[in-house]
Structure 1
Amino acid sequence: MNGLLAAYLGHRVEAARAVDGDFAAELCARMSAFTLAGGKGLRSVLAWWGWLAGGGTAAGPVAGSALRACSAVEVLQSFALAHDDVMDAAPLRRGSPSFHAVYTRQHRERGLRGDARRYGESLAILVGDLAMVWADDLLHESLADLPTGAAAHAVWRDMRTEVIAGQFLDLGAQADGDRSEDRAVRIDQLKTATYTVERPLHMGAVMAGADEATVTALRAYGTDVGVAFQLRNDLMDAYGAPDHTGKRTGEDLREGKNTLLLACGVRRAEEAGDRSAQRALARVGRSSAPEDAEEAARVLDRVGAREEVSRRCRLLAERGLGRIRRLDLHPAVSEGLRRFAETAART
């Protein structure tokens, strides 16, 4: 799959050179390299598993079109990450400087005019815009060869809208200081579960012409395991090592994101009447000091929120596996979905 994507992106970068050489080098080639270095290609793999689970063939021209369509999700991911890092003011992504950090540094090093930070963020937004456009192009070109193209595009359309809605709710929760557990879970469902797991599986299955029972089971698995996957990410953000997560520890706490981890901690501190814990957690979102984020992480562990979220990860992963137990899946797909659920539960 990565070879197909590399060929497509290489072609688009070469075509961009005819538009403008600097544009091709500074934006297109950089976005292409970032996308291809994205790791395991989780979303495209899940989409491919959805294709196989829905009865799609593993080889041949039709399978090739399906593979290309699945790989479009990886380009869409570059759009989401480029914009997300700007909104979160995140200096790192995958262990390296984020797009806006790179462009901001270049502005300063070259002695360019204007505000360096605004320049960096503006170019990062353009990178994200470009990724969205190329992802759409790749999907449409791939689906043109499939009789199920219209149905698959409908899933793609919903997925794009949902991830932006999730980001909208996330920003709103940061701004108004909401600490609702229900809202935190809803954000997890839209920003991660649907976009990372449910919709890729759904799109792949629909491309293959899967029956309704298969689609329903895969989507239910995707919702449960996708939320578990995000909860695990929340725990890793608060307690993981930067060399493993690829970003600074405690970013969500510094930004004041309403994660389920934080919402559970606030509830448990209130239930226990733990005033010191309440004061520490009340500073989340109001202080960007690393020591306050570190203290909040310790408090969340002490009041039992860390263990509660870990337990919820395990329960969601187990329930998700139960959703697909009755499906007659290809052994490789069954094993892959099982291992992914186990990873989501491993906190």
Structure 2
Amino acid sequence: MTTSPLESAGLRPRVDKALTAFLAGQRDRLLSIDAALAEVSATVTEFVLGGGKRLRPAFAYWGFRGAGGADSDAVVAAVASLELVQASALIHDDLMDRSDTRRGVPAVHRRFEKLHAGEGWRGSPAGFGDCAAVLLGDLALVWSDELLHGSGLPLADLARARPVFDAMRTEVTVGQYLDVLTQATGDTSLERAGKVARYKSAKYTVERPLLLGAALAGAGPEVHAAYSAFGLPLGEAFQLRDDVLGVFGDPAQTGKPAGDDLREGKRTYLVASAFGVLDAAGRAELDAALGDQELDDAGVERLRSVIRDSGALAATEARIEELMTASLTALAAAPIEEEGRDVLRQLAEAATRRSV
């Protein structure tokens, strides 16, 4: 039986152990402030530990090992901080998209909306839920910094990693803004779709975690360059796979309702590809339905047919394969440890075929 690349070096349970210990400490801190913060602690803890593939810590850890870094619990704790960045991004993303669920359970803003309504508090339940989600997402981002810098790694190692960590958090935040802006302006160009994919997801899912690991290991510029050449196309392929799943995916796999990206009006590479080849009538039909929160299952299926028949799905799959070829070619030439190369290759395959 083949071992999942996420299980190499027992990484996934070790990341979860580090997160569990850290979040338990944060719970004690919050409860020392006010008992009402128990719900805040429980929500963040359940959100972080309740699911997720741990891809970002995996890329950071094996980027570190590939660059010659020695295994330790401290480095596992350091890379686990990426899960708190991810939690922050997802909590805010669900709020901006007005998503009802995440991983099959209520999104954070919906959870606090229900709490408000159930307690019969004053004001708007929805408004309270929105405020709570903003603040909990911010809290997760603050805690990501605390976990990284309290990991136990030497200060010199952390100082090298700091610029990468800062750049990553800036990029994912402005990438989120570009995504919102693109929906508002209705930009359907492939150039804009590619830029959103690159900054909202690609760089912070693969490239920046790899570079974080390289920085922690004290790797030279040639390793950083190789990791960028491997990580950026792989991250874009990962996001394109996510775009395909957002339209054609099984809710049991994605944890979100079928066709949710269509209801949210996402101007993804997949959608931009369809706009680029459809005739005027097809573009008008697609444009009119994108972002319709009331789109029913029949409407979703109709848009799927429009996108599939336009050739956009096939074009996106071809682009994923093109990006994967570039990524794996760069990995093969990377001046890194062979064990790290082997696991990173497995991670690449798993990430774009969604076997993890």
Q: Which moved more, 1:110-119 or 1:280-289?
A: 280-289
User: Over residues 196-218 of structure 1, what are the superposed CA-to-partner deviations in whole Å (9 max), with x where a residue is unaligned?
Assistant: 11100100111101121111111
Shift of 1:328: 4.9
| Structure 1 residues 111-147: Cα deviation after superposition (integer angstroms, max 9, x where no partner) | 2221111111111111111101111111122376242
Taking a change above 3 Å as real, the CA distance of residues 239 and 286 of structure 1, as seen in their structure-2 partners, is: closer
Q: What is the Cα-based RMSD across aligned positions, in Å?
A: 1.6
Is 1:57 aligned to 2:70, yes or no? yes
Structure 2 CA distance for partners of 1:100 and 1:248, relative to 1, 3 Å: same
- What's the CA shift for 1:104? 1.2
Does structure 2 retain, via aligned residues, the 8 Å contact 1:179–1:258? yes
SS at match of 1:38: coil
Mark the runs of 5 or more structure 1 residues left unpaired by the alignment: none
Alignment check: 8 A CA contact 1:28 1:130 kept: no
Contact 2:226 2:335 in 1 (8 A): no
1:43 aligns with 2:50: no
The aligned runs of 1:11-90 (5 Å cut-off) are: 11-23=25-37, 25-58=38-71, 63-90=72-99
**Which stretch has the larger CA shift, 236-245 or 248-257?**
248-257
* Aligned position for 1:5: 19
The 5 A counterparts of 1:171-210 are: 171-210=180-219
Cα displacement (A) at 1:329: 4.0
* 1:333 paired residue number: 340
In structure 2, what residue type is equivalent to 1:268?
V
Q: What CA distance in whole angstroms lies between the structure 1 residues aligned with 2:177 and 2:272?
A: 18
Deviation at 1:293, TM superposition (A): 3.5
Q: Which of these residues, 226, 230, 236, is aligned with residue 217 of structure 1?
A: 226
Residue identity (%): 37
Task: Encode CA deviations 1:180-225: one digit per residue, 9 max, x unaligned.
Answer: 1011000111011111111001001111011211111112211101
Q: Report if aligned partners of 2:66, 2:338 keep a CA contact under 8 Å in 1.
A: no
Q: Give the equivalent residue in structure 2 for 1:283.
A: 288
Cα distance, 1:170 vs. partner? 0.4
Letter in 2 for 1:195: Y
Alpha-carbon contact 1:86-1:124 (below 8 Å) kept: yes
Aligned length: 338
The TM-score, its normalising length taken from structure 1, stands at: 0.93
8 A contact 2:246–2:259 mirrored in 1: yes
Distance 1:337 1:321, change over 3 A: same
CA distance, structure 2, for counterparts of residue 33 and residue 256 of structure 1: 29
| Pair 1:263–1:125, CA change in 2 (3 A) | same
Report whether the alignment pairs 1:324 with 2:331.
yes
TM-score by length of 2: 0.91
Q: How far, CA to CA, are the matches of 2:352 and 2:80 in structure 1? A: 26
Deviations 1:32-58 (A, max 9, x none): 221122333111111101110111002
- Do 1:143 and 1:149's aligned partners in 2 also have CA atoms closer than 8 Å? no
| Residues 232-264 of structure 1 deviation map (CA, whole Å, 9 limit, x = unaligned) | 000001011111110012122112111000100
Q: Measure, in 2, the Cα distance between the counterparts of 1:110 and 1:156.
A: 40
